[in-house]
Amino acid sequence: MGFLPMTRREMEDQGIRQMDFVYITGDAYVDHPSFGTAIITRLLQSRGYTVGIIAQPDWRNDASIREFGEPRLGFLVSAGNMDSMVNHYTVSKKRRSTDAYSPGGKMGLRPDRAVIVYGNLIRRTYKHTPVILGGIEASLRRLAHYDYWSDQVKRSVLLDSGADLISYGMGEHSIIEIAEALESGLSVRDLTFIPGTVCRAGTLENIPDPVVLPDYETVRSDKRAYAESFWMQYQNTDPFTAKVMAEPYGNHGYIVQNPPAKPLTQQEMDDVYDLPYMRTWHPSYDAAGGIPAISEIKFSLTSNRGCFGGCNFCALTFHQGRIVQTRSHESILKEAEAMTQEKDFKGYIHDVGGPTADFRHPSCNKQLTKGVCTNRQCLFPEPCRNLDADHSDYVALLRRLRALPKVKKVFIRSGIRFDYVLADKKDTFLRELVQYHISGQLRVAPEHVADEVLRRMGKPKHSVYEAFLKKFDECNRRYGKEQYAVPYLMSSHPGCSLKEAVEMAEYLRDLKYTPEQVQDFYPTPSTLSTCMYYTGLDPRDMKPVYVPKNPHEKAMQRALLQYRRPENYALVREALLKAGRQDLIGYGAKCLLHPARQSADAKKLAAPKRAKTSDRRMPEKKRTIRNVHKKKGRNS
């Protein structure tokens, strides 16, 4: 079938006189189902609509938006697979040097706050054409939200972008309903009723029984009101129980959020992934070396979406939701078989998973008809008694994939929930994971070791992680494997003071392990942890939370995770003194630092360098993990 048109010439070559929709995206055009642009445009095409793609338009040039002329039904706008601000800036607000979603990894081909900029770019030329925002950036900014980069509460992007609607969440259901409504002749201003959308309203006369949130001016100036508003939103993220919510904006009327769209059925998921994707980047990027992001997913399989893990620093609850949706074995096997026919396939399937790899069904039987519990998590603080912890379906899928011709190895890299593994009364999955699906290292995410910090994160107690490690190591010994659990750890999360940061350093000391990368907490829009970061309150109980905000303290917490590095000596020493832990400076076996004066070389290193903060998915160097468990006799 070929790629969708990116130029007027391609449009004319395909015999299209006027586009029904024009899709504006901050990413380069990659026609692969791991990219939201590809899913939405192919889905619309499957329903008979014509769609043109303008990828990474020059936002400084109004003509860049006019490639196809005015679309018949509307413009669709997305910042791309990543939030543009996260794409551009590290947690320390320094500009990144590369963009994996741009040709050749080149940085600077999209603007900051892309959906706002693109929306206004369209509006300058097309005053009345419908503009619909979608994707992760718009989805998480659909109502008033704390913006870390400006350190203020910003209003809904619907107002700042000049758009008419936001299709939030994954968008398949809502975009088809929007398209059909516009096709029927309805004005975009009348589309106030579609699940999974956010719209404007002058009054609430025609809005059925809305939950009225605190107004924007109040949440902008009152942190407690912001936390209360956020918690009301958090309790209305389920498609079966959520109410319509309305946020007042004075003279601008209301921003109205309809309940989320219903989850996709398995057949609908299969249909989405069976669309005729080209599975690569548009040929126009060949000269630049292609799009780096595809290397991570080209030989990976999406098995599920949604997550009932409930980590507070994760935006999945607001975006994909807590109800797990899955593809059938047949759909996944069909994609895998096609993958094995590609000329550069080497026999390795890099991943089979989703937000959490081992979630292959809803956490309990009632969710697909009654929704998730409003005031209860499935795994936190302990697994719910109704939790259906069963890996049988996932194990069966992995076995079928391993049996495919040309497949040498099937890896699991998208992460597993170790507490969910422990909750499964059978150990079949863990045994087969150890035997077949790890390449020396299993990446797991305990995130911290201090239980009070873990409670703020929505993660299980540290003892649960220790219990998992024990079972994992026993399993490795049984099968004669030398494999290691590599922990993801996070510094400076709300609730973490220097005391808890030192506790984590002591844990790393006992493991004889130095993380190669360090993840500092990043306050991205619409997460519960970000609400804590901004307000200093836990919205679940409205109790105060200690929040490390001072850049120097954050640097100390980061340095404690890599206390062995000479360049971190001064920061670690200062942190230990501030925490009253002088006992850890000395020559004893439990000490983190020697008291000897720094050498000139160490001082030189300490001055300009800071502990690295980088993508938590980057590989660890094997030399740093071989002795991770030696102290406890694990695999040593």
Would you list the domain boundaries of the chain? Answer: 8-197, 488-636
The model's pLDDT over 579-595, given as tens digits with 9 standing for 90+, comes to 999 999 999 999 999 98
Element (H, E) at 132: strand 131-134
Whose structure tokens read 């999974």?
196
What's the pLDDT score for residue 417? 95
In this prediction, residue 530 carries a pLDDT of 98
3-state DSSP percent of the chain in helix, strand and coil, to 5 = 35, 15, 50
Q: What is the pLDDT of residues 354-391, one digit of tens each?
A: 999 999 999 998 887 888 998 889 999 999 999 999 99
pTM of the model: 0.91
Please tell me the predicted confidence (pLDDT) of residue 518.
81
What's the confidence (pLDDT) of residue 460? 96
Across the chain, what does the average pLDDT equal? 92
Instruction: Taking residues 125-146, report their average pLDDT.
Output: 97
Query: Does residue 174 sit in helix, strand or coil?
Result: helix
Buried b (16+ CB within 10 A) or exposed e, 509-521: bebbbbbbbbbbb
Write down the pLDDT at residue 369: 83
Confidence check: pLDDT of 442 > 60: yes
Over residues 25-48, the mean pLDDT reads: 97
Residues 316-340 have a mean pLDDT of 95
* Model pLDDT for residues 211-263, shown as the tens digit of each residue: 999 999 999 999 999 999 999 999 999 999 999 999 999 999 999 999 999 99
User: In this model, does residue 275 exceed pLDDT 90?
Assistant: yes
**605 touches 567 (CB < 8 A):** yes
Task: For the beta carbon of residue 572, count every other beta carbon within 10 angstroms.
Answer: 25
pLDDT for 307 beyond 70? yes
- CA 139 to CA 170: how far, in whole Å? 9
Per residue in 180-225, pLDDT tens? 999 999 999 999 999 999 999 999 998 989 999 999 999 999 999 9
What value does the mean pLDDT take over residues 487-511?
96
Fold of 8-197: Rossmann fold (3.40.50)
Q: What pLDDT score does 625 carry?
A: 42
Closest CA to 545 of 616, 438, 423, 453: 453
Note the pLDDT of residue 597.
55
460: its two tokens = 């299980």
Encode pLDDT of 68-98 as tens digits: 999 999 999 999 999 999 999 999 999 999 9
Mean of the pLDDT values across residues 519-533? 97
Confirm if 371 and 309 have CB atoms less than 8 A apart: no
Q: What is the pLDDT of residue 584?
A: 97
Q: Would you state the pLDDT for residue 624?
A: 40
- Which residue type, as a one-letter code, is found at position 404? L
Task: Return the ∠ at Cα 587 (arms to 584 and 592), rounded to 5°.
Answer: 35
Question: Is 39 exposed, middle or buried (CB count within 10 Å of its CB: 0-12, 13-18, 19+)?
Answer: buried
> What's the average model confidence in pLDDT over 572-576?
97
pLDDT, position 621 = 41
Q: Is the pLDDT of residue 172 over 90?
A: yes
